[in-house]
Every structure is written in C-alpha cells, then in structure tokens.
C-alpha cells in the first residue's frame, strides 16, 4: 500500500516512540523510509542571539540510527532541513512531497482537552497541509505483533 514513508523526528523520545510504527509499515510494504529532521532556529528575547533548538549530538544520533537501519537492510535516508521562519510542518511536508511519500509518521504527546489540543502543533499543522495521510503515534501506543 505504501511505497515511501516519512518518519518526522526532532530526536525526542516521543519521536523515537513512533519509529517502530513506521518500520512495521516499511517492512510490511517493502517501502522506503525517509527520516526527516527539521532544525528550528530559536530567536532570543531582547536581541539575544538566534540559536538552533537542537544540537550536533541530536543530528549525529539520528544519522547513526539511519545508518544502523540501512545496515539492517532497511531502505532509509536522512533528510535535514533548517527552519529559519515558518513551522517545521511545512518543511516536513516539502520533503515528503520531494520523495513522493504517501504517509507521514510522527510521535505526539497526546495533550489533554484541558491543555487545549488532542495532538501536538506539528501534527495539527501537517493535517492542515492536507497533502497526505498522517499517522500520529501517542506516547502510550504499542506496535502489536502480527500473527
């Protein structure tokens, strides 16, 4: 059903929790995995210097993870973009379009109604883009073994 699946990751535990779901679909459909990491530029208050929200270690860990997947036989690539203005979802959707992806998988915190949203802002923004299906994996979800 799927030929190319995007796994959107910021290097967090929440994003990492979504990876087994993406890999399960990749294995099932012999699909390609495109790991997408968007480096967001954070501008400080009162004239503070702008800095990226992640660090070299995050990018290195993601590169190692994708290389490990390749060594396990997964057709995987890592795409990194820098986000100076706009929302990370825009860049994730662009990479997905560039690779002809037909699904985006990402983790979500599953905020409560009291918090104002059931899913995170990046997930909401990807759903608004409306270019392809989005699988939002809440922190408590588990991949079920297929018989």
Could you give the CA distance from residue 38 to residue 87 in angstroms, rounded to a whole number? Answer: 9
Among 10, 11, 30, smallest CA distance to 92 is for: 10
All domains of the chain in start order, with CATH = 4-134 (3.40.50.620)
pLDDT in tens, 108-134: 875 544 443 445 788 888 988 778 999
Computed over every residue of the chain, the mean pLDDT equals 84
Question: In the predicted model, what is the mean pLDDT of residues 1-6?
Answer: 96
- What local confidence, expressed as pLDDT, does residue 111 receive? 52
Could you give the CA distance from residue 42 to residue 84 in angstroms, rounded to a whole number? Answer: 8
- What local confidence, expressed as pLDDT, does residue 109 receive? 74
Question: In the predicted model, what is the mean pLDDT of residues 24-52?
Answer: 79
Lowest mean pLDDT among 43-47, 101-105, 135-139: 43-47
More confident of the two residues 32 and 114: 32
More confident of the two residues 50 and 120: 120
Percent of residues, the chain, with pLDDT higher than 70 = 78
Could you give the CA distance from residue 61 to residue 42 in angstroms, rounded to a whole number? Answer: 21
Q: Tokens standing for 100? A: 């002809």
Total Cβ atoms within 10 A of residue 142: 9
- What local confidence, expressed as pLDDT, does residue 139 receive? 85
Question: In the predicted model, what is the mean pLDDT of residues 81-97?
Answer: 86
pLDDT at 52 over 60: no
Beta bridge partners of 138: 108
pTM over 0.95: no
């Amino acid at each position: 059903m799927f030929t190319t699946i995007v796994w959107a990751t910021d290097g967090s535990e929440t994003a990492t929790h979504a990876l087994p779901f993406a890999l399960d679909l990749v294995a099932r459909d012999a699909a390609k995995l495109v790991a997408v990491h968007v480096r967001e530029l954070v501008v400080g208050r009162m004239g503070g210097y702008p800095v990226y929200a992640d660090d070299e270690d995050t990018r290195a860990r993601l590169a190692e993870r994708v290389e490990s997947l390749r060594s396990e036989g997964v057709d995987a690539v890592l795409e990194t973009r820098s986000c100076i203005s706009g929302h990370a979802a825009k860049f994730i959707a662009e990479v997905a379009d560039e690779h002809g992806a037909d699904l985006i998988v990402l983790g979500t915190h599953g905020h409560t109604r009291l918090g104002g949203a059931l899913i995170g802002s990046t997930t909401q923004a990807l759903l608004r883009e409306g270019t392809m299906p989005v699988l939002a994996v809440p922190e408590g979800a588990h991949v079920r073994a297929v018989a």
